[in-house]
Amino acid sequence: MLSAVKILGQGVAKKVPAMAMSSLPQHQYETLLVTSPTEFVYHVQLNRPKKLNAMNSAFWKDVANCFHAINTDENCRVVVLSANGKHFSAGLDLSDLGTLTSIVMNENDISKKYRTLYEYIKELQIPFTAIEQCHKPVIAAIHHGCIGGAVDMIAATDIRYCSQDTFFQVKEIDLGLAADLGTLQRLPKIIGSDSLVRELALTARKMFADEAAQVGLVSRVLPDKESLMAAAFETATLIASKSPVAIQGTKHNLNYSRDHSVEEGLRYMAAWNASMLQSNDMVVAAMASMDRSAPPPVFSKL
């Protein structure tokens, strides 16, 4: 499948657009930096570089709050998700393992331990599900280490690009647990090989960029982080120029059809478009297609 994957060389992608380094007023977080480098494109960056973007208790709250807010933010049509620092993310902040230990050690009744742990794990699953269910497409731009919980995170995104130095590692088994935030549920639907998914999850070995491209985990491999970001923003800008009704409907129905039969997907799609085709966006898009000399179409915010 490598022939179907676009490997961009040096100088192919355009330069990354200039970005304001201050967070948007409505998006202030402890562990994330959210900016808008161009109209309708939001850039969400993991922002604990000194801690290798390890996922601590503040991180889980920030990601959930951020993507729930973006979900209804009419000024955002597409998100680029990346990270500051040396690695995309080292995964779970090991200092937070104390929370799990305290639950196990401080509660004597097994049923109460179960209930507390169950609710704790379900709470941690919410942020990445918020990414997957966000109406706006999310493009992951991944560099260097993408470890443990970071694999859970990028598996919930819509489009994945990475730099040549990237490696992916389902690390949880080395910590004495099964990955529980989405990797075991989403990765088999992204990678076509059940055998490979099981190998990665059971061995915790590193999978490098070229292999990730071959098996379909990423659709582009870029030479370095600079060209990675340029490619991600180029795609984001293109998506942002399209009808929000069409883009959001496409994402929603792709997710629905992934989890249902073809017949169920077709029936749901018919019901969806019976509603959404009443939007003015289709008329605006059709007119723009017929008159290529006209200014770019202006779609309603959604």
Whether residue 11 is predicted with pLDDT greater than 70 in this model: the reply is no
Question: What gap in Å lies between CA 13 and CA 18, rounded to an integer?
Answer: 15
pTM of the model: 0.89
pLDDT, average across residues 8-23: 45
Assign residue 9 a region (left: φ > 0; alpha: ψ between -120 and 50; beta: otherwise).
beta
Instruction: Report whether 162 contacts 222 (CB < 8 A).
Output: yes
Whether residue 37 is predicted with pLDDT greater than 50 in this model: the reply is yes
pLDDT, average across residues 178-193: 95
In this prediction, residue 139 carries a pLDDT of: 98
Domain 16-240 identical in fold to domain 244-290: no
Whether residue 218 is predicted with pLDDT greater than 70 in this model: the reply is yes
Least confident of 54-63, 95-104, 275-284: 95-104
Instruction: Return the amino acid letter for 17.
Output: P
Domain ranges of the chain: 16-240, 244-290
How many contiguous H segments (helices) and E segments (strands) does the chain have? 11, 10
Residue showing tokens 């929603």: 252
Q: For residue range 224-270, list pLDDT tens digits in order.
A: 999 999 999 999 999 999 999 999 999 999 999 999 999 999 999 99
Question: What gap in Å lies between CA 58 and CA 29, rounded to an integer?
Answer: 9
Question: What gap in Å lies between CA 297 and CA 258, rounded to an integer?
Answer: 31
Least confident of 126-130, 142-146, 270-274, 279-283: 279-283
Report the Cα 228 to chain-centroid distance in Å: 15
Question: What gap in Å lies between CA 209 and CA 222, rounded to an integer?
Answer: 9
The kind and range of the H/E element at 38 are strand 32-38
Residue showing tokens 């690009």: 161
In this prediction, residue 290 carries a pLDDT of: 74
Name 34's bridge partners. 44
Q: Could you name the CATH architecture of 16-240?
A: Alpha-Beta Complex (3.90)
Q: Could you name the CATH architecture of 244-290?
A: Orthogonal Bundle (1.10)
Instruction: Return the amino acid letter for 161.
Output: Y
pLDDT band at 198 (very low <50, low <70, confident <90, very high): very high
10 burial type by CB count under 10 A (0-12 exposed, 13-18 middle, 19+ buried): exposed
Strand intervals (E) in 41-91: 41-46, 78-83
